[in-house]
Structures are given as C-alpha cells and as structure tokens.
Amino acid sequence: MHEAPPPGRPVLSVRDLVVVFDGPHGPLRAVDGVSFDVWPNEVLGIVGESGSGKSLTMLAVMGLLPPGARVESGSIEFRGRDMVALPWEQRRQVLGKEIAMIFQDPMTSMNPVMKIGRQLAEAIRLHARELSRAQVQARAAELLALVRIPDAQRRLTAYPHELSGGMRQRVMIAMAVAHDPALLIADEPTTALDVTIQAQVLRVLRRIRSQVGASMTLITHDLGLVAESADRVVVMYGGRVMETGTVEQVFAAPAHPYTAGLLASSLRVDGPLDEAYAIPGTPPQVDARPAGCVFSPRCPVGGHRDLCRADKPGLHTDEAGHGVACHYSGETSAWVELSRRPSDAAVGT
Amino acid sequence: MTRLSAGAAPGSSAGLHDTVAVDPSPLDVLGVAPARPAGRRRLPTVSIVIATALLCSIVALVVLAPLLPGYDPVTQHLDASQLRPLSDGHLLGTDPLGRDELSRVALAGRVSILIALAVVALNLVIGVVVGLTAGYFGGRADYLLMGLADLQLTIPVLLLLIAVIAAVGPSTTTLVVVLGVTFWVRYARVTRVIAASLREREFVLAAVTQGATDRWIMVKHLLPTVIPQLIVMGTFDIGTIVIAEASLSYLGLGVQAPTPSWGGMIAEGQRYLQTNPALVLVPAAAVFALLGGLAILGQRFSATYGRGGADLVTGRR
C-alpha cells in the first residue's frame, strides 16, 4: 500500500469532470467537478451512495455515457490520450484491450445463449484477430486456469446458467484480463454474489490484478471492501468528491463529516448492533441539489452555517495527499468523538 | 410469437446503463429454459406422424420419381393422352398431351420447392438486415425502415405481383425476385423486436466495453438469437410462397410452359375436371401434402422451441 503517490505518471487522470444530463428545465450536473488520479499498479476505491455519480464517472472514462448524458467540461486522460476527444474507432481499440470492465452481475453481463468458451473466445478475438482457432482456444483455457476454474475444458462448453455465480464472475474476470489491460474498472464486482463466495472471488480478482500489473478502480458502496482491497479511496457524494486519500488516512481520520458519518454508520463485528449511526435525511435528487456544499442539508458539523449553504467548498489536499472538500473539516474529528457516544450523537443531530 | 412479445417487455424496460437491472426471466426471451428433470420417454404425437408422412411422401416424390424407369415429363404421346391413373406404365395417368402425370407432378414439385426456398431466403436476408438495423440503432433508422415496412404492407401483394409481372413479362426469375422482396416485413418486425430488447441488455454493454463494434454485436450476439425464430417463420412461409407461386402460375403469370408447376397443372386440368379429375386432384393433393405437413411441423416446432431446444419430435429435452 502506498503512503504517498508513487512516482511516475498516473494511468488515468480525471480533472474537473462535469457530466450533464438534459433535464426538462435545462442541463442537470450529475457529475460536478470530479478530479482524481489512478496510479500504476494501485487499487483506487470509489465509494458513494446510489446516484453519487461514481458509475457515471467511470462510464464517462470509457466514453459509454447513456443517451442524453454528455461530458460538458473537464478532462479525462488515459495513458496520455484525451478520452473525451478520442474518436470512437480509436476508443474502441482501447476498450477491452487497455481498459476492461467487470460488471456487478455476471448473469446479466453474459449472453445467456452463448457458451462460455465462445464468449471468452470473442473477448480474445476482438483484439487479436490474427490468432488461429486453436490459439484462441488455448488462450481461453489458459485464462480459465488463471482464474482457478477447475476442469477448464468442460467449462468452456457450458452455458452461463450452468455455472455458479462465483464461477461466472471468475469467467468475467478472465474475459476482462484477456489482453492484460492497464486499467480494470470493477463496478460492484461482488455485490451480486453470495456472501460466502465474495471473498473467494475477491481473492482471485486481487491476485489476477497484481499478476497482470493492472491498476484498478473499485466502484462500490461497501466500505469494508474498500478497506480490505484498495490502496487509496475517493469518497463521492452528490456528484462531487468529498474526500480522498489513502485508505489509512481516510478510514483512520476522516476529515469530511460525510465520510465520518458513513464510517460511523457501518456496524462493527465487535460492537453493539444498536449503536450504528444514521446520517439524517436522504441524498438530494440531481435536480434539487443545494447551492452551497451539497452535503450541507444533512451535515451535523456545518449544515446550519451560512458559509456552507452559500459556498461550494473546493477539494483541498495536504502534502500527504489527503484531500477534503469541507469548510470546517477541522471540526470533524471532534464530531467523531461525540458520535462515538450514541446518546450524545442523537442530541447533536 | 405472443411468447416473444411478452418476454421482451421486461428486457426493454431496463436501461442500457442500468447496472443493477435484474431481469426476472433473462432466459425466457432467448428461449432457454432451466433444465427440466428427465421425464419418461414420450412417443411422437399422431399429428407429428401424419405431418412427417405427408412431407416424406412429397420429398420421396420429388427426389425419387426421376429415378423411376418411366420418368419423362416432357415427351408428348398424343396417341396415349388422357390415360386414367393406374394405367399400364403410367401410375397417375397422362395429361391431354400424353405426358406422364407422375413425372410432371414430381418435376413441378421440384420447381415449386426450389422457388419457395429461394424466395424465403431472399426475404429472410432482407428482413434480417432491415430488422437488425432498425432494432439495434433505433431512432431515425428505425423510423425510416419501419415506415418502409408499413408502406410495403399497404400494397396488396398479389396486385403488385400482377402489375410487375404484367409489366416485365412472366419468367421464373421475375417470380423469384418479385416474391423475394414482398414477404420480408414479418421477418423484419420480429427481428427488430428481438434486437431492440437485446440491445438494452447488459451483455451488449459488456461486449461494448470489450471493444466490440456494432456489426460484431449484431452478428455475434443478436443474429444467433433471431435466426431460430425466423426459421420457424420460414417453414410456415414456404407454404405461403408455394401457394402464391401456384396462384400466379394458375393465372399464367408464374412458371411458364413447358416447365410444369402445380398451379399451372391445376389450371390446365381444370378444363377436364368432369372427364378426368385426376389432372386437378393429383397436383392439388401434392400442394396439400406439402402445406399441411409444413404447417403442422412448423407449429410443433414453434411450440417446442420455446421450451429451450426441446426434442422436436417428442417434445422432450
């Protein structure tokens, strides 16, 4: 794990990205000025609730925004290429080869009427048209062995529904790493799986990632997964980055009230069950976001202050790489202390 | 086809980028049902036996008749015209020009079936291309192509055929081409519905993230799902085309003499209906055997295919 950003250039560099949707009353900023870097060989966790813009950000990176959404401003640089301006044909050459995606639900992300072997073969052939049939088959079997699928030859002739969920997700991982990508985008890779096999699949994913030497963005709402698997983390809320830093920095000393609230709301194995904190209120809809800090209506620290209501805080990063977008981040630790005693926290909100 | 439209609905409501879309029956629309426990072995149903017998008799007729010693559909024997069926050397008798009726009905069957296959193939290709383009791209392409399909449907096919053939003159080529571009709308519609619902599926998005082109997705992911449905439709349509070709030939606009065709034979024999009904009944029975057999098998096929590649004959997986 990296204490400070490693040397070299980032694999992926997103700067001030704004993604807008066309709404009935003008454009809606679903992603509002997001910046982050993914460094070589690191795992970046992107954490946020549904609608925080985390998936949309990564779709923008791949150039696969849904109809009606577009990148309004900002830049996305992947290995020195401007992904926003890149023509479709060149972007297609990047997808699957240099950037690969792993989806949440392997059942829906595989063609149910196509045998595993054929789907794997296609993922291979898409960027290696020159390979012979035998070479493709050999590579497919090799990939299945890489993700520790036993009896690979038999699995190749199976249909997706004949495999277990964990097995299917491993096949998806095998497809994703078919061309040794530089960046893996994993969108909730274990959410659709049984709890018992999440750890297995995660182990496979981690091992493969380091074998291939790829960087990875792990999009999730599971803080435990991030703590366990990521080097650095970006916390998103309402289309903006709230806090960023190494996992140690963010989890041990959250500087943003939202991060602190998230951490306080997760249950601990060794703690009592009734002491979990709940962030009051609900995330704002994309068309009803407050003018100032997007978290201010729910913020236990600065929500009532005029500055928070009027002014969007920028992301301020210290020398250690710990960034936070909060006017009163200095007061967060005091609130954390307070919230550890549940009765006081209830009063505080 | 009702199964299809019912199954397509949940898929089409899920957005392309809706990563948490949970389709309750992702396999249903694609015709793959969960494995069924092996049941007891079932025998073919009576209708299957009849249909198979009818089709086999037609196939035997068109394939084997030319191998018989007396096969000669062209030579006229004016001294042996209008022989009744079961007469010496002519199992089904002879026509007014003394040509062997069995040989003629067999050759006519060949002609009719080959024409029907060519016509269905032409329509299938047009329908698949139009339907895939409209369904996968949607938007303006969909609007234009389906508008064209609607336009095609507003024109009475037989009238159009008569007009075109009257203008350019009747010939087998004209017949194939004209029929080949007039029956594609149903293929296009079915293809479009399947393509439009599959396009929203996550596995298509997954293929895009793997670097697939539009053509790749259409050919590798959409086409294999579409083709089985269209084959079922095609079997039905062979009957329709044979009827259409027979009708046109009956009107003298289709296959031209001396090449025999079932429709043409019925038209010629009609004059002798009172004296020698076999001249009409033999080709009519051949048309009936082909159409009846195809209709029953086609229906059975569409019923069992929906249950996931179940055995065609016994309905067993």
Phi, psi of A234 (to 5 degrees): -120, 125
Cα B18 from Cα A64, distance rounded (Å): 12
Question: pTM for the complete prediction?
Answer: 0.74
- Greater confidence (B227 vs B14) lies with B227
Do the Cβ atoms of A110 and B15 come within 8 Å? Answer: no
pLDDT digits (tens, 9 = 90+) for A29-79: 889 889 999 999 999 999 988 888 888 899 999 988 888 888 999 999 999
Do the Cβ atoms of B210 and A107 come within 8 Å? Answer: no
Do the Cβ atoms of B19 and A103 come within 8 Å? Answer: yes
Residue A61: predicted pLDDT: 92
Cα B27 from Cα B11, distance rounded (Å): 10
Q: Which amino acid is at B11?
A: G
Do the Cβ atoms of B211 and A188 come within 8 Å? Answer: no
CB neighbours (10 Å) of residue A272? 9
Q: Which of A59, A94, A108 is facing B201, going by the closest CB pair?
A: A108
Cα B199 from Cα B193, distance rounded (Å): 10
Q: Which helix (H) or strand (E) holds A64?
A: none
Residue A225: predicted pLDDT: 87
Two structure tokens written together for B54: 């009818």
Q: Quick check: A227 pLDDT over 50?
A: yes
Do the Cβ atoms of A112 and B26 come within 8 Å? Answer: yes
Q: Which of A55, A100, A110 is facing B19, going by the closest CB pair?
A: A55
Q: Are strands A12-23 and A69-78 parallel, antiparallel or unpaired?
A: antiparallel
Q: Kindly state the DSSP code that residue A162 receives in the 8-state scheme.
A: G
In a mutagenesis test of the B interface, which of A52, A56, A102, A108 is the best target, namely the one with the most B β-carbons within 10 Å?
Answer: A108
Cα B91 from Cα B89, distance rounded (Å): 6
Of B86, B114, B117, B113, the residue nearest B102 (C-alpha): B86
Q: Which helix (H) or strand (E) holds A141?
A: helix A133-146
Cα A103 from Cα A212, distance rounded (Å): 19
Do the Cβ atoms of A96 and B210 come within 8 Å? Answer: yes
Q: Quick check: A244 pLDDT over 50?
A: yes
Residue A94: predicted pLDDT: 92
Share of chain A above pLDDT 90, in %: 29
pLDDT digits (tens, 9 = 90+) for B49-74: 888 888 888 888 888 877 777 677 77
pLDDT digits (tens, 9 = 90+) for B25-44: 444 444 444 444 454 456 67
Share of chain B above pLDDT 70, in %: 76
Contacting residues for A243 by C-beta, under 8 A, at least 6 apart? A234, A235, A250, A254, A255, A256, A258, A259, A322, A323, A324, A325, A326
Residue B153: predicted pLDDT: 85
Confidence check on the interface: ipTM exceeds 0.85, yes or no: no
Q: Which amino acid is at A49?
A: E
Residue A218: predicted pLDDT: 93
Answer whether A7's CB lies under 8 Å from A18's CB: no
Q: Is B223 on the interface with A (CB under 8 A)?
A: no
Residue A234: predicted pLDDT: 94
Q: How confident is the model at residue A271 (pLDDT cuts 50, 70, 90)?
A: low
Average of per-residue pLDDT across A228-248: 92
Nearest-CA distance from B4 to chain A in Å? 15
Contacting residues for A183 by C-beta, under 8 A, at least 6 apart? A11, A12, A38, A78, A98, A99, A100, A214, A215, A216, A217
Question: How far, CA to CA in Å, does B50 sit from each of A142, B235, B297, B304?
Answer: 51, 17, 10, 18
Which 200-219 residues of chain B touch chain A by CB within 8 A? 201-203, 205-213, 216
Q: How confident is the model at residue A334 (pLDDT cuts 50, 70, 90)?
A: confident
pLDDT digits (tens, 9 = 90+) for B207-226: 999 988 889 999 988 888 88
Average of per-residue pLDDT across A315-330: 86
In a mutagenesis test of the B interface, which of A56, A111, A119, A188 is the best target, namely the one with the most B β-carbons within 10 Å?
Answer: A111
- Greater confidence (B270 vs A177) lies with A177
